[in-house]
A and B are shown apart, each in its own frame.
Chain A
Amino acid sequence: MTLTTEPTTPAPAVTKRRPARNRNVGRTLRRLPGHALVGLLLLVVAYPLIWLFLGSFKTQDEFLNKPTTSLPESFTNFANYTQAWSSVATYLQNSLLTVLPSLALIIVLGTAAGFALEVLVWKGRQTTLMLFLAGIMIPGQMILLPLFTVYFQLHLTGTLWPLIITYTATGLPLTVFMMATYFRAIPKTVFEAATMDGASVIRSFWSIGFPMMRNSVLTIALVQFFFLWNDLLIALTFTTDDAQRTVQVGLLNFTGQFGVVEYGPTFAAICINVLLILAIYIFLNQRVMRGLAAGAVKG
């Protein structure tokens, strides 16, 4: 499992990078602080994760009455996992079913709009861009009440559509704005030439513009995924039923009588989430991350 690979680093460069022998010792010494830094970094990131994993085996009694740093008494205590699994599967499915379609819509609609705003030439595009820009400023809380009313009137309450629609709309402003910025860097002659060749504008967007933006698309997709996956506000407002809860809202649910946090099942639920995400991630990793790091637009 790798986050990014560097497939584009040309082979000759690697040979060039190899330092001369006599500089080796000094270099190793000089790299020591670096190693220490990486070690510290890994500790800071990994320790909480390991602690989380260990916590998923602890009982509520251990959480309340044993030191926080202690190891679980039993590593075969899967009761937390059995309790968590029943609901987590649904939450995860809901999160994926809302975030992925929204993400796809954001990317396709946003890139197309960015193309139309930056590459195409028409009156009023500057104003329209500013209009989208205004959307970056709108706080999510501002649109909740009107949207709730509308979704209810349209009988969408009780489905995942309110989430998908709202996510798509809230993701668009930043995407459109960033896409427009990226398109600005590409000479218009590229598209003009293509269009002269007989391809329609739509076709030249789809077959030249969009692929050319692959890097940026992946970057934005990553950013939006991060925002949407972690959304609590919108999901909290538009879901009343357990059947539509996303992971974020679902985790709030692992509380018992009087809001007692059931740490064990919560941690188990988090671990299940992380493992499943990891599986999806490994599956998508090759394509996504290669694209991200490839620098396909280089030169």
Chain B
Amino acid sequence: MASVFKPKNLLAAAGVVALALSTAACGGGGDDSASGGSSAKNFSFLAINENTTIASTLTTLSQKECATQNTAQPLDIKKQAQASLDQQLQLLAGQGALPQLFTAANAPSLTSQLADNGTVLDAAAVSTGVQPAASSVIKALYDGKQLVLPTELNIEGIWYNKKLLADNGITTPPATWDDLVAAFAKLQAAGVQPISAAGKGGDGWGVTRWVGNYILRQQGPDALKKVADGQAKLTDPQYVAGADAIAALGKAGYFGKSPTSIDYATALNTFLTGKAAFIYMGSWALSDFNDESKNKIGADNVGFLKFPTVAGGAGTADQTPANVGTAIAISKKAYENDTNTQAWVKCIVDNYGTVALRDSSQITGFKTDAAVEVPALTKQIQDEIAGVQTSVLWFEAYFSAKATTVSQGNGGLLGGGQLTGEKFMQTVTSNLS
């Protein structure tokens, strides 16, 4: 047995270990700038991989419009996967270590919690350049408080392929639910996929938005708020009817072959390559609509339709679903004692809107320089947004994080016709508490 032992080998192994350990010590020694102390070295921003616009806009700002602020406190962007954002925010907040600027949590309730214990700044005081429309959307979402900066301001609706509709004899865009469903039937019969919708995992909002909007059109703009306030239940018959209406579309196969296997990118691509006639989408997708390499049907071929009215319903088509999409929040602790950070935030509020619109076709809730030239479709949506009188929130807006996950996770099954409206509402309700 002793013959097995070779000192040389062991020595070599020990050498490798020692080397690895020492390099680990060196390689690991990154800078430690995450803590937002009283005069932070860097202006840190916690971004998510899934949104590149904010990071690139901030980088542009740091090079030009906010160069002075950037010299005093250089911009430092860290990225997280969106799926682990809420976890990171909780862990960092638990340590009082949130960076100055961070992507607002996926669940609005988490941002509200952070505000309740004083970690998130109520940005009302710094939001002088924020449009009233954006403010009202934010306040509706965060219980009257302006907790985030509107790096996006979106309206949502049904986008359609003008040519596909015309080719199939649908000359006027459907204005009521019945017209819309008739159009779906017509397209389906002609072998055209009526709706492109994502329903894979968390992308199930592509289906649940239809449910929420149907309920709002039928029951009136405060229908979902009533559920949140406990005056109504999602399992009440009039709410179940909304889910059933969408389940019926699913049963008929209008959402395409298998919504559960379609993710966001695929759904959008299906529409942009002319393989589906309608898609429910927010105006954040304008940059894709205006991108010729992605949009094969042409930007002037894309039409925007407000979510139609439901016969006998209490809601109207001009009650527009709006949101601030991926927004950013400010750490109260880091902001209040740090003049450099305050200067940075002011510069962002003043300039972000113009740069994002100019470089990324992103409509934001900030004021913009009127001189920015935008594509026709963007201009049309800008006007739509400016004309919004009443805005409404999406289906899960008042839900807990858990119910949101459950709702969106089951959306695909609803759109695939595998769940009845009643079962869907029951599943969501049991997770609402």
Interface of A toward B, CB cutoff 8 Å: 61, 64-65, 93-94, 96-98, 100-101, 104, 108, 145, 148-149, 152-153, 155, 157-161, 164, 190, 207-208, 210-212, 214, 236-237, 240-244, 249, 252-253, 255-261, 287, 296-297
Is A101 a contact partner of B273 (Cβ separation < 8 A)?
A: no
B315 → chain A closest CB, angstroms:
28
Query: In the complex the two chains form, what is the Cα distance from A15 to B50 in whole Å?
Result: 63
Query: At the interface, yes or no: B21 with Cβ under 8 Å from chain A?
Result: yes
Give every chain A residue within 8 A of B371 (Cβ-Cβ). Answer: none
Q: Name 15 interchain pairs, CB-CB below 8 A, sorted by A.
A: A64-B269, A101-B24, A104-B17, A104-B21, A145-B94, A148-B91, A148-B95, A149-B95, A157-B97, A212-B5, A244-B30, A252-B49, A256-B50, A257-B50, A258-B50
Query: In the complex the two chains form, what is the Cα distance from A249 to B78 in whole Å?
Result: 14
Give every chain A residue within 8 A of B94 (Cβ-Cβ). Answer: 145, 148-149
Most buried by B among A155, A243, A260, A287: A260
Is A296 a contact partner of B4 (Cβ separation < 8 A)?
A: yes
- Not counting A104-B21, A160-B28, a sample of 18 additional A-B residue pairs whose C-beta atoms are within 8 angstroms of each other reads A61-B293, A104-B16, A148-B91, A148-B95, A164-B28, A211-B5, A240-B34, A249-B81, A253-B79, A255-B49, A256-B52, A257-B50, A258-B265, A259-B263, A259-B265, A260-B264, A261-B265, A297-B4
Is A211 a contact partner of B87 (Cβ separation < 8 A)?
A: no
From A164, A255, A257, B53 is in contact (CB under 8 Å) with A257
Complex: chain B residue closest to A214, CB-CB: B4
Is B31 a contact partner of A158 (Cβ separation < 8 A)?
A: yes
Query: In the complex the two chains form, what is the Cα distance from A240 to B47 in whole Å?
Result: 10
Is B50 a contact partner of A65 (Cβ separation < 8 A)?
A: no
Interface of B toward A, CB cutoff 8 Å: 1-2, 4-6, 9-10, 16-17, 20-21, 23-24, 27-34, 46, 49-53, 78-82, 84, 87-88, 91-92, 94-95, 97, 263-266, 269, 273, 284, 287, 293
Query: In the complex the two chains form, what is the Cα distance from A258 to B206 in whole Å?
Result: 13
Is A240 a contact partner of B30 (Cβ separation < 8 A)?
A: no
Query: In the complex the two chains form, what is the Cα distance from A298 to B27 in whole Å?
Result: 41
Give every chain A residue within 8 A of B51 (Cβ-Cβ). Answer: 257-258
Is B21 a contact partner of A101 (Cβ separation < 8 A)?
A: yes
Complex: chain B residue closest to A210, CB-CB: B10
From B10, B28, B33, A159 is in contact (CB under 8 Å) with B28
Query: In the complex the two chains form, what is the Cα distance from A148 to B96 in whole Å?
Result: 12
Is B1 a contact partner of A104 (Cβ separation < 8 A)?
A: no
Known contacts: A145-B91, A161-B28. The answer to whether A241 contacts B10 by CB under 8 A is no
Known contacts: A100-B20, A164-B24, A253-B81. The answer to whether A158 contacts B50 by CB under 8 A is no
Complex: chain B residue closest to A161, CB-CB: B28
The 7 closest A-B pairs by CB, nearest first: A160-B28, A159-B28, A211-B5, A260-B265, A104-B17, A259-B50, A100-B20
Is B78 a contact partner of A241 (Cβ separation < 8 A)?
A: yes
Give every chain A residue within 8 A of B52 (Cβ-Cβ). Answer: 256-257
Query: In the complex the two chains form, what is the Cα distance from A126 to B75 in whole Å?
Result: 55
Is A93 a contact partner of B21 (Cβ separation < 8 A)?
A: no
Is A242 a contact partner of B79 (Cβ separation < 8 A)?
A: yes
Complex: chain A residue closest to B21, CB-CB: A101
From A145, A190, A240, A296, B78 is in contact (CB under 8 Å) with A240
Give every chain B residue within 8 A of A108 (Cβ-Cβ). Answer: 17
Give every chain A residue within 8 A of B78 (Cβ-Cβ). Answer: 240-242
Give every chain B residue within 8 A of A259 (Cβ-Cβ). Answer: 49-50, 82, 263-265
From B20, B32, B293, A97 is in contact (CB under 8 Å) with B20
A214 → chain B closest CB, angstroms:
7
Complex: chain A residue closest to B266, CB-CB: A64
Complex: chain A residue closest to B23, CB-CB: A97
Known contacts: A155-B32, A159-B30, A161-B28. The answer to whether A240 contacts B95 by CB under 8 A is no
Query: In the complex the two chains form, what is the Cα distance from A149 to B53 in whole Å?
Result: 32
Is B87 a contact partner of A208 (Cβ separation < 8 A)?
A: no
Is A252 a contact partner of B81 (Cβ separation < 8 A)?
A: yes
Give every chain B residue within 8 A of A101 (Cβ-Cβ). Answer: 17, 20-21, 24
Query: In the complex the two chains form, what is the Cα distance from A252 to B263 in whole Å?
Result: 15
Give every chain B residue within 8 A of A98 (Cβ-Cβ). Answer: 24
Complex: chain B residue closest to A240, CB-CB: B78
A68 → chain B closest CB, angstroms:
12
Complex: chain A residue closest to B83, CB-CB: A252
Known contacts: A65-B273, A149-B94. The answer to whether A157 contacts B53 by CB under 8 A is no
Give every chain B residue within 8 A of A287 (Cβ-Cβ). Answer: 9
Query: In the complex the two chains form, what is the Cα distance from A164 to B26 in whole Å?
Result: 13
Give every chain A residue within 8 A of B33 (Cβ-Cβ). Answer: 158
Most buried by A among B4, B46, B84: B4
Is B32 a contact partner of A212 (Cβ separation < 8 A)?
A: no
A118 → chain B closest CB, angstroms:
17
Is A97 a contact partner of B27 (Cβ separation < 8 A)?
A: yes
From A65, A97, A208, A255, B5 is in contact (CB under 8 Å) with A208
A114 → chain B closest CB, angstroms:
17
Is A212 a contact partner of B81 (Cβ separation < 8 A)?
A: no
Complex: chain B residue closest to A242, CB-CB: B79
Query: In the complex the two chains form, what is the Cα distance from A61 to B273 in whole Å?
Result: 11
Is A243 a contact partner of B20 (Cβ separation < 8 A)?
A: no
Query: In the complex the two chains form, what is the Cα distance from A243 to B49 in whole Å?
Result: 15
Query: In the complex the two chains form, what is the Cα distance from A258 to B265 in whole Å?
Result: 8
Give every chain B residue within 8 A of A241 (Cβ-Cβ). Answer: 30, 34, 78
Give every chain A residue within 8 A of B79 (Cβ-Cβ). Answer: 242, 253
Is B265 a contact partner of A64 (Cβ separation < 8 A)?
A: yes
Give every chain A residue within 8 A of B273 (Cβ-Cβ). Answer: 64-65
Give every chain A residue within 8 A of B27 (Cβ-Cβ). Answer: 93-94, 97, 160
Query: In the complex the two chains form, what is the Cα distance from A161 to B32 in whole Å?
Result: 13
Give every chain B residue within 8 A of A260 (Cβ-Cβ). Answer: 264-265
Is A158 a contact partner of B30 (Cβ separation < 8 A)?
A: yes
Is A212 a contact partner of B1 (Cβ separation < 8 A)?
A: yes
Complex: chain A residue closest to B326, CB-CB: A258
Is A65 a contact partner of B24 (Cβ separation < 8 A)?
A: no
Query: In the complex the two chains form, what is the Cα distance from A47 to B88 in whole Å?
Result: 38
Query: In the complex the two chains form, what is the Cα distance from A214 to B34 in whole Å?
Result: 43
B127 → chain A closest CB, angstroms:
25
B139 → chain A closest CB, angstroms:
25
